[in-house]
Amino acid sequence: MDIGGTLVKLVYFEPKDITAEEEQEEVENLRSIRRYLTSHTAYGAAGIRDVHLELCDLSMCGRTGSLHFIRFPTHDLPAFLQMGRDKHFSSLHTTLCATGGGAYKFEEDFRLMADLQLHKLDELECLIHGVLYIDSVVPSECYYYENPADPEHCEQRPFPLENPYPLLLVNIGSGVSILAVYSKDNYKRVTGTSLGGGTFLGLCCLLTGCNMFEEALEMASRGDGTRVDKLVRDIYGGDYERFGLPGWAVASSFGNMMCKEKRESISKEDLARATLVTITNNIGSITRMCAVNENIQRVVFVGNFLRVNTLSMKLLAYALDYWSKGQLKALFLRHEGYFGAVGALLELLNPS
């Protein structure tokens, strides 16, 4: 599992090739956990199993089975631990591999509340290993957007990530980490920014009163950010040619909101859209600078901020293409936020 600032990501491998004897030997506790996880798609108020991401007929460690992807809010972790305790998870004598900051923060809680010892793993290493593994076993994992400048013809296209290095890996969770990856074990964290998915949701909650990521995204999809932002054309009447700035570019995010009348004339949807555009463009801009400084042309975006967030993905694809004059390509992965957890699972199966 990967315990982040906002979400806990859990991957669970369910062997499907269980023989009758094995079934016989399987202890009751394990069976009940397996059944609980695989027979539901929602757990408690906010736990979700992303069924569409499930990988079937996967070979792992000589077994064939399905890989399940489950997530729940980090603030529900106590409930999760309670469940682990009720289902006597600790009796299984299984090591629980955990990564993400929560592996450190909640280590004590795991021990005290559920009698579980955590095997803590570095989150960046898990992330990279997870990305490389999933990409190697899932044929159409990686994709890009064709014609990002043209909304009518902008479409997803698979991108074979055969020879991935060097790679800029941008993980957008609550915050953002940007890694330059040169090989499986050779990578560095280039920089990060605190303006990430947590900022988008946090600001949306304050500005619109919503409280769910999906709700915020839905509002954003219906809003018009250009009423909130001050565009180049709002200042110069058109393009600012002296500096090659197109009229449609945002000159000042939320710039129109300096004016009281305009504050009163916009909708919550407009605000959600502007927030999304602001955060996304900023990530694009920092990413582009890092790519240029590190001399890397291929950029892979991951993290749960991009979940069901086509708006941001297309925006990133467009921004990278436009401002780099076609030099940079934005790539995305279907299992957006689960790579850290997958990497932790791999560590469990193949301890180095």
CB of 270 to another protein, least distance (A): 11
Task: Pick the stretch among 82-90, 151-159, 168-176, 344-352 that binds another protein (CB under 8 A).
Answer: 168-176
Tell which one of 243, 325, 351, 352 touches another protein (CB under 8 A): 243
Neighbours of 83 (CB within 10 A): 17
Tell which one of 16, 35, 40, 105 touches another protein (CB under 8 A): 105
191 binds another protein (CB under 8 A): yes
106 binds another protein (CB under 8 A): yes
Give the residue with the Cβ less far from another protein, 201 or 313. Answer: 201
104 binds another protein (CB under 8 A): yes
Contact indicator for 138, 41 with CB cutoff of 8 Å: no
Tell which one of 1, 4, 272, 345 touches another protein (CB under 8 A): 4
42 binds another protein (CB under 8 A): no
249 binds another protein (CB under 8 A): yes
CA angle at residue 8 from 309 to 80, to 5 degrees?
A: 135
Task: Pick the stretch among 37-45, 63-71, 202-210, 332-340 that binds another protein (CB under 8 A).
Answer: 202-210
247 binds another protein (CB under 8 A): no
Q: H-type helices in 77-236, by residue range?
A: 77-86, 102-105, 107-114, 123-137, 197-208, 213-222, 232-236
Between strands 186-193 and 230-231, the pairing is unpaired
Give the residue with the Cβ less far from another protein, 53 or 279. Answer: 279
Q: Which two tokens stand for residue 351?
A: 């301890």
Distances (CA, A) of 262 to 176, 220, 257: 32, 18, 6
**Residues 28, 107, 123, 125: which is the catalytic one?**
123
Terminal-residue alpha carbon distance, the chain = 18
Closest CA to 121 of 3, 261, 272: 3
Does an H or E element contain 97, and which? strand 96-98
Contact indicator for 69, 9 with CB cutoff of 8 Å: yes
DSSP assignment letter at 305: G
Which residues ranging from 110 to 139 are in contact with another protein (CB under 8 A)?
122, 124
CB of 191 to another protein, least distance (A): 7
100 binds another protein (CB under 8 A): yes
Neighbours of 209 (CB within 10 A): 9
Tell which one of 2, 135, 141, 229 touches another protein (CB under 8 A): 229
73 binds another protein (CB under 8 A): yes
Give the residue with the Cβ less far from another protein, 65 or 197. Answer: 197
Task: Tell me the number of residues near another protein by CB under 8 A.
Answer: 63
CB of 207 to another protein, least distance (A): 6
Burial of 351 (0-12, 13-18, 19+ CB in 10 A): exposed
Task: Pick the stretch among 18-26, 45-53, 73-81, 163-171 that binds another protein (CB under 8 A).
Answer: 73-81
Its sign, for the CA torsion 118, 112, 108, 68, is positive
Residue 123 annotated among the catalytic residues of the structure: yes
| 166 upstream amide cis, omega within 30 of 0 | yes
Let me know how many helices (H) and strands (E) the chain has, helices first.
13, 17
260 binds another protein (CB under 8 A): yes
CB of 177 to another protein, least distance (A): 9
Tell which one of 82, 94, 293, 327 touches another protein (CB under 8 A): 293
Closest CA to 269 of 221, 337, 325: 221
Which residues bind to another protein, rule: CB under 8 A?
A: 4-6, 73-75, 100-102, 104-107, 122, 124, 173-175, 189, 191, 193-199, 201-207, 211, 228-230, 235, 242-243, 249-258, 260, 263, 271, 278, 281-282, 285-286, 289-290, 292-293
Please give the positions annotated as active site: 123
